[in-house]
Chain A
Amino acid sequence: MILKIENLRAKVGDKEILRGVNLELPLGQVHAIMGPNGSGKSTLAQVLAGREEYTVTGRVLFDGEDLLTQTPEARAFMGLFLAFQYPVELPGVGNLYFLRTALNSVRKQRGLEALDAVDFLAFAQKRMDLVEMDRSLMSRSVNEGFSGGEKKRNEILQLAILEPKLAILDETDSGLDIDALRTVAKAVNALRGPDRTLLLITHYQRLLDYIVPDQVHVMTEGQIVRSGGKDLALELEHDGYLADAPDHTLPVGGTP
């Protein structure tokens, strides 16, 4: 089990956003979390990545190690990666420089030698080809002035470069047209493997046509309320649960 989440709760002020999440992700599988807007999917992703503004209780084991006491950078060293729903723009930080610094920082922790600029460029170019990323984006500031799709590709490029054990993709499909979605999905599929787990967060089932999950989980109001096979996504879409009506009740399989 690469990730084991037990009764995870997260609050901001008095507002409880995650209300007892339980989830297990085996190594080498692809899981999806679906759920309406505001149900806490991004919060779960951010809490796992180590965002400090939440008050968190519960237990998370990453590869058997306690995750919640680790700094964000330590989680990256352990092999956790989050592709952000809203990647931050970093004016003045060169994209290539940023990627190389990140990779070398992670390599150092893994006892590997740093790559110099030339070696890194050769390595990065293969990964850029994988996500069909325009080379000109490498000499620009990180995400600055990037289109929505370019930002998402840049996230997947980082995933491809850092080679984590667990990658959480938060709404990577939103803002992508169908061609871009195909490209990104192809890249993500190429990154699947027995040593890597993917957690796809989405509220459209569209993405799951391209990246087929082993399991689908449904989150509402800060809890995982249902889990099932890949057909669950289709069923949910058909039943139209994704309508954002606040008092909408779900065909819930089991609540705590």
Chain B
Amino acid sequence: MSPNRATGLAQIALPEPAGQPTWLQRMRRSALDWVAENGFPGHDDEDWKYTRLGPLLAIPFELAQPIDSSLTASALDVLVGNCGGPRLVFVNGHFNPQLSSLTEIPKNIRATSLRTHLHQTEESGASRLFPPPQNSFVALNSAFSEDGAYIEVPPHTTVERPIHLVFVTDGPADAAPILASPRSVIIAEANSRLTVIESYVGLRPQVSLTNAFTQVILEAGANVEHYTLQNEPATAMHLGMLAVHQPAASEFSSYALSLGASLARQEIRVALAGEGAQTQLRGLYMPRGRQHHGHVTSIDHQAPGCTSRELYKGVLDGQSRGVFKGKVVVRPGADRTDANQSNKNLLLSEGAEIDTRPQLEILADDVKCTHGAAVGQLDEEAVFYLRSRGIGQKAARDMLTYAFVSEMLGLITIPELKTLIEHAVAQQLEADSTDDREKTLAGEIRSR
């Protein structure tokens, strides 16, 4: 290993510990020490091989501060959609009660800011929320996380409307580069059911890094549907880790969308720890220009009779780069595992590149594991067919590209979200691929 040590990130000072429990201060300190000691992943790290971290690590970030955002709740409806349920909004990682709508939260559900929760919690109760550091960016999040959501659904409870978590970066365009570290915890107790949406957006073309960490802890028979929608401005970088723990007969599904940011990487780790657990990971990434979108998944079949399904699709244009890395481990004893992985990519330009890499480690018997990866271009015969019907060259190509993506859009179960994403995807496709992706969402809101 040659960990990447020469970096500004590990040298950021810890924030003032005002009002924090001492166990939390201690934990932050040791997480930062761990980062200082272990550094960041280098080129020889399998998981980061295709993601150029060098430029990011050289940026002198400052911790994001809570600010008086010019954002309004109705502007948020346009930006991230209004799904009719509770909405918790975090600006630069800090909870913003004015923009949030908490009145929609059903009585028996706990949905609050993680900071509030931690400040009321003993160390023993919070230890599972801070596992020992293993990963530089998660440790960095442990050290610096300002806030995030804490959601706890009691047994046998169904939450009807999705809970929407919105993470916004905002600040003057000429501000120093900022680091925001949202951290959320979702606990679904036995046989409960809920949907959580995480939207990541930015208001200004300002250099920023969002380093997010979300834990989803299911109990037996629980069912969680999760969305991560990343559409940050072109000047933003985004690193996200979703860690999911699934005991017996639990069901989890995730949907990871990457549209924005110059560099974005979404990682998901699922532990199938109890018999008969089922997990479904779906993803769509559409980098263009010089964008880099990476999706790394790892599914750990620890118990017998679990099912995992993965479908990721990518549409790459311009000089962009995409990475899909899907690891499936079937541990000894995880018999009757049923795992399927599929990654399909459409390259729209000569300059775009995709690295797709399945990785299967099968250590059990009686296992059904399949995977497939495809990289292709638009079918020229299909383009000609459309053109012969009077549909112009660009419209024909867009139509076929949209058709490739439409399978993924069809998987979105929340109508308001589906409409929003359909628009965002169409917009991403229609924009000329030679344009620089200067998408200031703030400007977009103002022009409406």
Residues on A close to B: CB < 8 A?
A: 49-52, 71-73, 75-77, 81-82, 84, 87-88, 90-93, 98, 101-102, 105-106, 109, 141, 158, 162
Contacts and interface: CB of A to CB of B under 8 A. Distances in A.
A92 B407 contact: yes
A196 B381 CA distance: 27
Interface string B386-405: 11111111011001101111
Residue among A49, A92, A101, A141 with the most chain B CB within 10 A?
Answer: A92
A163 B96 CA distance: 59
Contacts of B387: 50, 71-73, 76
B379 to A, nearest CB: 7
A76 B391 CA distance: 9
B392 to A, nearest CB: 5
Given A92-B404, A93-B399, A101 B391 contact: yes
Contact of B390 (A88, A90, A106): A106
B274 to A, nearest CB: 37
The 5 closest A-B pairs by CB, nearest first: A92-B403, A76-B390, A72-B387, A102-B389, A106-B390
30 contacts: A71-B393, A72-B384, A72-B388, A73-B387, A73-B390, A73-B391, A73-B392, A73-B393, A76-B387, A77-B390, A82-B388, A84-B385, A90-B382, A92-B404, A92-B405, A93-B400, A93-B403, A98-B386, A98-B399, A101-B399, A102-B389, A102-B390, A102-B391, A105-B389, A105-B390, A105-B392, A106-B390, A109-B390, A162-B389, A162-B390
A72 B390 CA distance: 7
Nearest to A107: B390
A62 to B, nearest CB: 14
A138 B67 CA distance: 52
A76 B403 contact: no
A77 B384 CA distance: 15
B400 A90 contact: yes
Nearest to B404: A92
B426 to A, nearest CB: 13
A91 B313 CA distance: 15
Given A73-B390, A102-B391, A88 B407 contact: no
A81 B388 CA distance: 7
A253 B12 CA distance: 91
A101 B389 CA distance: 9
B120 interface: no
Given A76-B388, A105-B390, 16 more contacts: A50-B384, A73-B390, A73-B392, A82-B388, A84-B385, A88-B382, A90-B400, A92-B403, A92-B404, A92-B406, A101-B399, A102-B386, A105-B391, A106-B390, A141-B403, A162-B389
A240 B259 CA distance: 62
Contacts of B385: 84, 87-88, 90
A175 B361 CA distance: 48
Chain B facing A: main interface SS: helix
A102 B402 CA distance: 16
Contacts of B403: 90-93, 141
A16 to B, nearest CB: 22
Interface in B251-297: none
Contacts of A141: 403
Contacts of B407: 92
A72 B395 CA distance: 13
Contacts of B406: 92
Contact of A105 (B379, B395, B404): B395
Interface string B205-247: 0000000000000000000000000000000000000000000
Contacts of A158: 389
Contact of B402 (A51, A75, A92, A105): A92
Contacts of A81: 388
B211 to A, nearest CB: 35
- Of A71, A82, A88, which is in contact with the most chain B CB atoms at under 10 Å from its CB? A88
A55 B407 CA distance: 37
A101 B395 contact: yes
B389 A76 contact: yes
A202 B54 CA distance: 64
A90 B403 CA distance: 8
Contacts of A102: 386, 389-391
B384 A51 contact: yes
Nearest to B403: A92
Contacts of B390: 73, 76-77, 102, 105-106, 109, 162
Interface string B368-386: 0000000000010110111
Contacts of B382: 88, 90
Of residues B382, B390, B400, B406, which shows the largest number of chain A Cβ atoms within 10 Å of its Cβ?
Answer: B390
Nearest to B406: A92
B388 A49 contact: yes
Interface string B57-68: 000000000000
Nearest to A52: B384
Contacts of A92: 402-407
A236 B432 CA distance: 54
A105 B399 CA distance: 13
Contacts of B404: 92
Nearest to A88: B385
A98 B399 CA distance: 9
Nearest to A46: B384
B383 to A, nearest CB: 9
A218 B402 CA distance: 43
Contacts of A77: 390
B410 to A, nearest CB: 9
A162 B399 CA distance: 19
A62 B400 CA distance: 29
